[in-house]
Structure 1
Amino acid sequence: MAIKVQVEKITTLTGHRDCVYTLERAGDTNIFYSAGGDGMVVAWNLDAPENGELMARVTTSVYALRYLPQRNLLLLGQNQEGLQVIDLANKQILKSVALPKVAIFDILHVPAAQGKVFVAMGNGAVCVLDGETFELQTIIRNSDQSARCLAYNQKTNELAVGYSDNSIRVYHVDTLELKYELKSHTNSVFTVVYSPDGSLLLSGGRDAHLRVWEVWEQYKERGYVIAHMYTINHITYSPDGRRFATCSMDKSIKVWDAETFKLLKVIDKVRNASHGTSVNKLFWSAHHNQLVSCSDDRTISVWDIN
């Protein structure tokens, strides 16, 4: 028996002056960060969401943020200008890491072992940085088309990278050896995420297909769903792992059952006064199970999911 999912819009956050491209968690469950085309990095408090706090400002657009809880740092991918390391306590840029002068689509931090930071670049490179010093260690090159998205599987110590050449490549995190190439998508792969138990990899992208891969079966494809009308921009799991949500260029957000892959809820403009343009990223907070979405319409929405 499927449990009915109720969705209520809590608030709309405004203040960004351009498309909002990314959302990222903070140390406390009620805080999150946003960034986008205006180069502003803003902290929001879900307990008092009206006023965002400016944490940093850069001169170009930002597609990617990554929070490092151990050190209270925020990594910011400044398109064409490399990686900025922000000390959140002082709101200062601690360090700028020069990288190839292209777009930065995703950043991932793997704290295990020596610690590494992976940066997905618009020229197809994945830059590997030292997790402590952020010095560039090496570059993984297996495509000349953009590396768009990154996911880490703690159980297998594997890194999944989605590319604009329609492929997903899976690497061993320590050796950086290429282990698998998954080639079912018919267009760019924009989002990859591992299930909380590490047994599945979910992927989506420009072909609007949500694909499911069995990690323990050498990434055999379990199947796919045509999940949206247009590009799937992002997939994220709920804090308890029982649901996941997808968002799309078709302006909608969808909530799914993580076990059965049944569609539970559609959040859109007509039914829920949702976004008027592409929904770019989701952040599902453990704070009252609230789902946060951001869009090309310059707004951020906060949803109560029951």
Structure 2
Amino acid sequence: MLKHLKTLSGHQNPIYALANSADKEVFFSAGNDKGVVEWSLETLAFVKVKMPVQSSVYYLHYYNNFLFIGERSGAFSVFDLDKGEIVNRVNAHLKPIFNIQTVQSKNELITTGEDGTVSVWSLADFSEIYRFQAAYNTVRAIAISPDETEIAFGCKDHLIKIYNLADYSLKQNLDSHTLPVTALAYHPTGKYLISGGRDAQLKIWNLPNYELIQTIPAHMFTVYDIAFHPTLPYFATCSQDKSIKIWDAENFKLYKILSLEKGEFGHTHSINKMIWKKDGKYLISTGDDRKVIVWEMEG
């Protein structure tokens, strides 16, 4: 399944964000430090500080050779990886940005965060197209359906809000979590939406009717991320309880637990973020222990 390959150190403070790049050997991390860090999977080592940042980074998003950096200040920067420089910086929100996603079919960028507003930006010139209030407090998670017809937001008021991507009209409120919703992911086939919350539960919503078909007591504490394997029927969850769990994406059975309690390698503090590399060979995790751990698929 997955085995520990390497623990990478170098960050001085908690890490909140990870992002891939076009290069399958390169990825990025950022957090409560002074910059965005580039790492190499080829050498399993630190490469360089890619760019300095003005405040803590809560989210990194890669798209089309641009790296989008969402900051605690409410601003986001656009780093052009071809040019090796920041090409834009936008004061997008009054409070921290917690999530950034792209809608490929519309050439749009979505930002949201602690102020509860969702802002839609043109990827052509980073001008604001539209803004709406999704919640009256933090919106932490965004998921976009595989066919890009809808977008889901995970809110602090424990609601999941589904909007139509065509016109950003509200489609549905899902109310089952008892505490803030902190993680969301659509099944790659579009059959399910999976949500995770501060209530430590995973909820499986059947699509297109949003029927709640399963509630799983997945972790001991907050579920911070849900990440589907790019090619195989698995997904990973990570939590404040210092564990990563690997699940079957069809029957939602637990396959494996990656933690210090279950083996000799793992995180010592809350795990905040995970990414799979595009070829599915590696899972990368990070968190409050200032470590980046690379896990390798066996077989």
Q: Match for residue 179 of structure 1?
A: 171
Aligned to 1:126: 118
Alignment-derived partner of residue 45 in structure 1: 40
Q: Which whole-Å CA distance do the structure 2 matches of 1:153 and 1:8 have between them? A: 30
1:192-236 superposed Cα distances (whole Å, 9 cap, x missing partner): 11111111111101000000111222x111111000000000000
Query: Which residue is 1:162 aligned to?
Result: 154
Alignment correspondent of 1:25? 20
Q: Which deviations, in whole Å up to 9, do the C-alpha atoms of 1:129-170 show, x marking residues without a partner?
A: 112111122212131110101111132510111010101101
Which sections of structure 1, spanning at least 5 residues, go unmatched? none
TM-score by length of 1: 0.94
* Counterpart for residue 188 of structure 2: 196
Distance 1:208 1:294, change over 3 A: same
For 2:112 and 2:287, the matched residues in 1 are separated by 21
Check 1:148–1:102 CA distance in 2 against 1; reply closer, same or farther (3 A cut).
Answer: same
80, 87, 91: which is aligned to 2:84? 91
Whichever residue aligns with residue 164 of structure 2, its letter is H
Shift, 1:85, TM fit: 0.7
For 2:254, the equivalent position in structure 1 comes to 263
| 2:279 equivalent to 1:284 | no
What SS is found at the alignment partner of 1:55?
Answer: strand
The whole-number CA distance in structure 2 between the counterparts of 1:120 and 1:77 is 9
2-structure distance, mates of 1:157, 1:103: 27
1:57 and 1:36, CA in 2 relative to 1: closer, same or farther beyond 3 A? same
RMSD, aligned CA: 1.3
Distance 2:204 2:280 in 1: 28
Q: Is the 8 A contact 2:19 2:61 kept in 1?
A: yes
Return the offset for 1:287: 4.3
Instruction: For residue 47 of structure 1, report the CA deviation from its aligned partner.
Output: 1.2
Letter in 2 for 1:132: A
Aligned-pair distance for 1:277?
0.1
State whether residues 97 and 111 of structure 2, in contact with CA within 8 Å, keep that contact through their aligned partners in structure 1.
Answer: yes
Aligned equivalents of 1:184 and 1:81: distance in 2? 29
Matched residue, 1:60: 55
Indicate the residue corresponding to 1:11 in structure 2.
6
Match for residue 95 of structure 2 among 93, 102, 106: 102
Aligned counterpart in structure 2 of residue 140 of structure 1, from 129, 132, 141:
132
- SS of equivalent residue, structure 1 residue 52: strand
- SS of 1:48's partner is coil
Gaps of at least 5 residues in structure 2 are none
Q: Is the 8 A contact 1:16 1:40 kept in 2?
A: no
- Relative to structure 1, is the Cα distance of residues 59 and 163 closer, same or farther in structure 2, using a 3 angstrom cutoff? same
For 1:122 and 1:288, locate their aligned partners in 2 and report how far apart those are by CA, in whole Å: 32
Other structure's SS at 1:198 match: coil
Aligned pair in 2 of structure 1 residues 150, 241: CA closer, same or farther (>3 Å)? Answer: farther
Correspondence for 2:242: 251
2:212 to 221, 234, 239: 221
Amino acid at match of 2:95: V
Structure 1, residues 40-77: CA drift from partner, whole Å, max 9, x if none? 111212111212321111121111111112xx111111
Give the TM-score, by structure 2 length: 0.96
Change (3 A) 1:156 1:77: closer
